[in-house]
Chain A
């Protein structure tokens, strides 16, 4: 039954008028020391009227639009043959080998900007994979994940500043310190469930950022820490001239100095870290611990009845997730050479969580794809920078309607019983 939704259309129109009227219709202008209110230009008013009309008609003719949409051809599904093929272990291995090989040769053919962007993507992949353990596998909603990222970054930066620690030692220390923070925070917090856990972790993330901002004597406060050492390759630096007692990469191999070498090296390093993360997570999934996470997510009470210690199991998920954030943070600090509390605001947590949700909770390939989408799209659409949050919101709404389970929903490796 198609009918005109007159009431709903009027209501939507009223909302549009109220919103645009307040946001765009009036402007505050400064005249000397006082402020004055002025109306919008006719141009803006016409646009507002257009938007109002569109919303009004859309709601009025909703039934017809829905019907028309129903007649659109459905998205083509994956052909049966291919989906069967992807079940085969050998084909999967081959696929992953190709992806990894492509990722390794990529920097030798791409330009500097692309490599830089790819490195950023890899950082987000690592963060996404780490948070995926906590949210996707263990089912604990963590909104303060960026706190551990900050701990990792600042661990390396501070150690480098005060004790001249190198990148590789710093990497281990950053992972360990982030794990320690995850463990300490997890202890009191993991008694909470669901929304309460989300709120407390959110608070924790903010506490870390504010501490970093205010402990000026240690962290230099909002000014941040600069001049952080870049990673070295077995002691070989990627500079034009070596620091005292060190050797540079191009001298050692007898090639001309090229600033691209460092960018490529950073990319390959990030790739190695991501591959290590993937390896660890894949092993974890097949370990008793991974199974316990899954079971805990499904039914905590049954787990307790079977003698599994819920606190212990959740704590491991929290700690391991935090460790990867620590690694990512250390790499981030080394790549940027400069960090400040600005880089670790709540919006980062939200983006990482969006990556996990967008990719499909628990799905690793999904997280990788989502990290690419969430990092590359804003770069490509630089001119829409002001509307970035709007686009994120739109993307999320579309996802919830179209694929609530994420881009690539998780397919867990099931252990098979063979007789």
Chain B
């Protein structure tokens, strides 16, 4: 079997006496869309936080592209190509849409202090390329006409798309979306689905998704993991999960 893009095993997170994540294992291969589902408070976002370095997991291993990343600070993990969005939109609201995208390219840009001070040709080129990449992604997510508006003034659906575009500026190989469809109307959810497919098919990005919208999850995922009360409950293809009696019980309660 080829090397997995992300391989998690035995991931455990304990807050004092509370076992928030218990022995979770995940595997994502290149080009896959994998979803994590589970009832509210099941610990899905905690898993995300552990994977991206926002929490230090109590135990377990997180191997990204064959390299152990658990315990690294968040920004280092992001630089390795594992970039996430948040459950609540976290844009830089005062900055314009295009500036949001420029900030996200920080680690790829010429940040040499003297170069910027003297506006050397290399610096100008780097800035121009950043602008072009930003324009390209604004077009991809259909936000080109609001490029120069402060991000905080955009409509909610637009903000969601801008956040995904912002992640793409970091040139990730794994995109982690935390409830991207929350608060979107059915049409916007369809657009989101198209966008995720586009990212996977044309930009070779794998996606790890936390989502409550079952229609979206079932139609797009290659593999689904179900977590209940921090513990893995089931996993498999959408079809397998859909028919799993344990999953139905966890979602609907004992009959």
Contact = CB atoms under 8 A, between A and B. Distances in A.
A289 B75 CA distance: 16
Interface string A214-237: 000000000000000000000000
Given A288-B102, A306-B83, A307-B170, A417 B138 contact: yes
A283 B83 CA distance: 30
Interface in B88-144: 90-96, 98-100, 102-107, 109-111, 113, 116-117, 119, 131, 134-135, 138, 144
A304 B77 CA distance: 9
B92 A305 contact: no
A299 B90 CA distance: 7
Contacts of A283: 116-117, 119
Contact of B86 (A302, A414, A415, A416): A302
Nearest to B149: A414
Interface in A288-310: 288-289, 291-292, 294-295, 298-299, 301-310
Contacts of B83: 305-307
Nearest to B167: A306
Interface in B39-63: 52, 54
Interface string B74-89: 1110110001111000
B117 A305 contact: no
A192 interface: no
Contacts of A102: none
Contact of B75 (A287, A294, A304): A304
Given A306-B103, A307-B79, A294 B94 contact: yes
B104 A288 contact: no
Contacts, number: 113
Contacts of A307: 75-76, 78-79, 83, 106-107, 170
Query: Interface residues of A: mostly helix, strand, loop or mixed?
Result: helix
B147 interface: yes
Interface size on B, as a range, is 35 or more
A310 B113 contact: no
Contact of A298 (B94, B131, B148): B94
Contact of A289 (B78, B90, B94, B116): B116
B166 A306 contact: yes
B109 A288 contact: yes
A4 interface: no
Contacts of A303: 75, 103
B103 A292 contact: yes
Interface string A394-419: 00000000000000000010111101
B111 A289 contact: yes
A288 B116 contact: yes
B75 A309 contact: yes
Interface string B151-182: 00000000000000011011000000000000
A417 B131 contact: yes
A284 interface: yes
Contacts of B134: 417
Nearest to A304: B74
A295 B79 CA distance: 17
A305 B85 CA distance: 8
Given A287-B111, A302-B91, A415 B116 contact: no
A306 to B, nearest CB: 5
A414 B116 contact: no
B134 to A, nearest CB: 7
A287 B166 CA distance: 18
A414 to B, nearest CB: 5
B117 A308 contact: no
B2 to A, nearest CB: 26
B147 A280 contact: no
B180 to A, nearest CB: 14
B52 A305 contact: yes
| Most B Cβ at <10 Å: residue of A299, A301, A309 | A309
Contacts of B109: 288
Contacts of A301: 54, 86, 90
A417 B95 contact: no
Contacts of A284: 116-117
Interface in A278-332: 280, 283-284, 286-289, 291-292, 294-295, 298-299, 301-310
A306 B170 contact: yes
Contacts of A298: 92-95
A289 B76 CA distance: 18
A415 B111 contact: no
A287 B124 CA distance: 10
Given A295-B95, A304-B75, A287 B103 contact: no
A308 B102 contact: no
A191 to B, nearest CB: 12
A419 B95 contact: no
Nearest to A283: B117
B222 to A, nearest CB: 24
Contact of B111 (A288, A295, A310, A414): A288
A291 B96 contact: no
Given A302-B90, A306-B167, A417-B134, A294 B116 contact: no
A280 B103 contact: no
Interface string B213-228: 0000000000000000
A416 B148 contact: yes
B116 A305 contact: no
A273 B79 CA distance: 38
Nearest to B84: A305
Per CB-CB distance, the 5 closest pairs between chain A and chain B, nearest first, are A307-B78, A287-B116, A302-B90, A417-B147, A307-B79
5 contacts: A283-B119, A288-B106, A305-B84, A307-B107, A417-B144
Given A306-B83, A306-B167, 19 more contacts: A283-B117, A288-B103, A288-B109, A288-B110, A289-B113, A289-B116, A292-B103, A301-B54, A301-B86, A303-B75, A307-B75, A307-B76, A307-B107, A310-B75, A414-B99, A417-B134, A417-B138, A417-B144, A419-B144
Interface of A: 280, 283-284, 286-289, 291-292, 294-295, 298-299, 301-310, 412, 414-417, 419
